[in-house]
Amino acid sequence: MSDNNQNEALQKQINLILGAVIILTGTVAAYLYIQARHFRQDLNGVRPVHGMVVQAYNNDKPNVDAFVAKLADYGRTHPDFAPIMKKYQLQPPTNSVAPASAPKTAGTTSPAPAKAAPAPAPAPKK
């Protein structure tokens, strides 16, 4: 084959590959557009449920924080509970509402303020 024939053959191959790449790119772009549209529709269907779940979480959070604080207090006073405290890294939440204390009587001094607890560790992954 002469150089001219080889050049034409290579040019045809390049044009064929370029056409295939253009078709492939268009197909992938169309597929991604359809998937994005389906995802958007699914997301719009989930938004109301998501709002209810977040609202329920926000409503229950003070109760859960108070329960965790009570568990942490229990763990400090009962050494048998220490392994469970260590396993689940139970620490009282730093921003939780303190449980109601007994009313102060005249002539008593208030106890020294407690040291700030470290931030709770993330929950263990399942």
Portion of the chain with pLDDT greater than 90, in percent: 40
Q: Is 90 exceeded by the pLDDT of residue 7? A: yes
DSSP result, 12-41: HHHHHHHHHHHHHHHHHHHHHHHHHHHHHH
**Total-model pTM:** 0.41
Q: Report d(CA 79, CA 114) in Å as an integer.
A: 20
Beta-carbon contacts of 115 under 8 Å, excluding residues fewer than 6 positions away, are none
